């Protein structure tokens, strides 16, 4: 699996993609075909452009009123890459292809003055006025095409005769068809020098559409543009827009989370069941991908470190078809990531409760050892766990947890090395069989007494 946008949609990005108001389905295709940016300069450049788009499309901005017009132009954008690449290949384009080229040139010419005035580096449209003139010789300015009378002096008379014929003028029609074809052929020759410019324009327009949509998403979902850092990712007020929307529809509120972590020092998140650890971890994976694809970030503020790959390992990895248990599948996945890390790749490594399905003694040992493996590695790693781990060198955060009869999802700095025991309280609050809960509480008390006695 490479870092293509279409491959990362399942990592929580799909919702953001589906809520992107692109004007043309071609732009959506261009976005899906993109690969993740890993270089800080490229990411920085993307955000510089997005920042400009956000500024000019915000209320009072220079483009505020022009957006609907722009989107209506961009809505006519079609994927004509095939047409353009076959231009000049010893074949004559037909009216459909010439119409498509004319349409592209006209869209581009309409948008060019506005876009080029922004001086956004790569996002610059070439001059296609000659192409428009070639395909609109009567300068009607309408997006339609046929072999106009002006192309060949013989056409007006022949066509007049066809129109005045009482019956279908087969012979005349044939003569016209031959002339029309030679006109198309010479148009193709004339258009050839503009092929690269047309190809550039097509992509620049798609990217303009994408930038406009991203900027609108920033406004609509209250997203922020992140700052870049070489070492530490700091996310303040991080939220998951998809879950937020679901909760708000139910009249509930999403509790944003603050989280920060650095290279060389893994972050361990502990906390109660249902404390949103997995969601936070998933959101972190999503946010990193959004960052490297240049989207607005769902947080109050964000500083982020670019990585070469995002590695998320969580949920049930069981693959029955391959005959591997959930434990086995998880181990293999982690192993892949470790191989990357040991090979010197800078990745974001997110693992949700590793070794949860095995016995607590070995499980705890595995997690502790994993943390040790990650220390001093040029990688960002975040691990959640239930296990009590002592004496590990890592940064710790704890879910605030169940307080005042309510779950709090915020993450707090954790100095204790003891995992809070909230499982019974949470289960009880869910109304689980009271006798079972009582027996479990008794059992817990016995164990505690024994431990105390032993020490």
Partner 1 sequence: MPFINELIQYSSLSIVGLGKNTGKTECLNYILAHLPLQKLRVGVSSAGIDGERTDQVTQTAKPEIFLRQGVLFTTSEKHYRHRRLTSELMHISQEQTSLGRLITGKVQTPGKVLLSGPPATASLKRWIQFLRENYQADLCIVDGALSRMSTASPAVSESMVLTTGAAVSVNMQELVSKTAFTCELIHLEKSEYAARLMNGANLNRVQIIDDENQLQATPFSSVMQLEAELKLLIKQARTVYIPGALTDRFLKSVSSDQHLIQTPIVVRDFTCVFASPMTFRLFLKKGGQIKVLEKSKLIALCVNPVSPGGYRLDSDKLCDELADKIQIPVYDIVKNG
Binding site for partner 1 (CB under 8 A): 25, 78, 94-96, 99-100, 144-147, 159, 162-163, 165, 168, 173, 176-177, 180
C-beta closer to partner 1: residue 173 or 222: 173
C-beta closer to partner 1: residue 159 or 408: 159
**Minimum distance from CB of 23 to partner 1 (Å)?**
12
How is the beta sheet containing 227-228 ordered, strand by strand? 227-228, 301-304, 232-238, 257-262
Distance CA 189, CA 129 (A): 17
**Minimum distance from CB of 95 to partner 1 (Å)?**
5
- Among residues 73, 1, 23, 11, which one has the least CA distance to residue 293? 11
**Minimum distance from CB of 133 to partner 1 (Å)?**
18
Secondary structure, 3-state, 386-429: CCCCCCCCCEEEEEEEEECCEEEEEEEECCCCCCCCCHHHHHHH
C-beta closer to partner 1: residue 99 or 254: 99
CA-only gyration radius of the chain, Å:
30
C-beta closer to partner 1: residue 173 or 325: 173
C-beta closer to partner 1: residue 95 or 319: 95
C-beta closer to partner 1: residue 64 or 95: 95
Check if the beta carbon of residue 43 is closer than 8 Å to that of residue 119: no
C-beta closer to partner 1: residue 86 or 278: 86
Check if the beta carbon of residue 330 is closer than 8 Å to that of residue 354: yes
**Minimum distance from CB of 143 to partner 1 (Å)?**
8
Residue 392 has phi, psi (to 5 degrees) of -110, 140
**Minimum distance from CB of 25 to partner 1 (Å)?**
7
**Minimum distance from CB of 112 to partner 1 (Å)?**
23
Check if the beta carbon of residue 400 is closer than 8 Å to that of residue 408: yes
**Minimum distance from CB of 180 to partner 1 (Å)?**
7
**Minimum distance from CB of 163 to partner 1 (Å)?**
6
Residue 3 contacts by C-beta under 8 Å, 6 or more apart in sequence? 35, 36, 38, 309
- How would you classify residue 381: left for phi > 0, otherwise alpha for psi between -120 and 50, otherwise beta? beta
C-beta closer to partner 1: residue 37 or 136: 136
Distance CA 262, CA 403 (A): 30
């Amino acid at each position: 699996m490479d870092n293509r946008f279409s491959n990362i949609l399942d990592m929580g990005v799909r919702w953001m993609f589906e809520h992107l108001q692109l004007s043309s389905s071609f732009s959506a295709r261009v976005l899906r075909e993109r690969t993740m940016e890993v270089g800080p300069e490229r990411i920085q450049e993307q955000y510089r452009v997005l920042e400009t788009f956000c500024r000019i499309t915000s209320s009072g901005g220079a483009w505020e009123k022009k957006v609907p017009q722009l989107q209506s132009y961009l809505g006519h954008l079609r994927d004509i890459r095939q047409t353009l690449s076959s231009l000049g290949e010893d074949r004559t384009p037909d009216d459909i292809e010439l119409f498509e080229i004319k349409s592209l040139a006209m869209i581009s010419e309409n948008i060019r003055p506005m876009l080029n005035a922004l001086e956004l580096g790569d996002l610059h449209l070439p001059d296609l006025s000659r192409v428009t003139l070639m395909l609109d010789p009567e300068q009607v300015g309408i997006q339609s095409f046929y072999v106009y009378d002006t192309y060949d002096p013989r056409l007006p008379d022949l066509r007049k005769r066809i129109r005045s014929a009482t019956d279908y003028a087969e012979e005349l029609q044939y003569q016209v068809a031959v002339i029309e074809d030679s006109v198309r052929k010479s148009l193709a020759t004339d258009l050839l020098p503009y092929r690269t410019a047309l190809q550039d324009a097509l992509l620049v327009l798609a990217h303009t559409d994408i930038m406009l949509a991203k900027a609108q998403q920033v406004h609509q979902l209250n997203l922020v543009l992140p700052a870049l850092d070489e070492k530490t990712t700091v996310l303040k007020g991080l939220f998951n827009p998809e879950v937020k929307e679901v909760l708000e529809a139910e009249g509930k509120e999403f509790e944003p989370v603050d989280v920060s972590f650095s290279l060389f020092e893994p972050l361990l998140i502990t906390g109660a069941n249902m404390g949103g650890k997995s969601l936070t971890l998933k959101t972190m994976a999503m946010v990193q991908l959004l960052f490297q694809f240049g989207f607005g970030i769902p947080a109050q503020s964000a500083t982020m470190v670019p990585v070469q790959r995002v590695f998320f390992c969580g949920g049930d990895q069981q693959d029955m078809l391959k005959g591997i248990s959930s434990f086995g599948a998880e181990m293999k996945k982690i192993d892949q990531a470790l191989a990357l890390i040991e090979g010197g790749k800078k990745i974001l490594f997110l693992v949700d409760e590793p070794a949860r399905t095995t016995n607590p003694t070995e499980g705890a040992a595995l997690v502790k050892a994993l943390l040790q493996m990650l220390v001093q590695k040029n990688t960002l790693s975040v691990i959640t766990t239930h296990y009590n781990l002592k004496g590990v060198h890592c940064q710790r955060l704890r879910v605030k947890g169940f307080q005042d009869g309510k779950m709090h999802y915020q993450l707090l700095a954790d100095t204790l090395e003891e995992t809070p025991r909230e499982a019974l309280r949470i289960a009880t609050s869910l109304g689980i069989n009271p006798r079972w809960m009582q027996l479990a509480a008794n059992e817990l008390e016995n164990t505690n007494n024994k431990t105390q006695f032993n020490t």
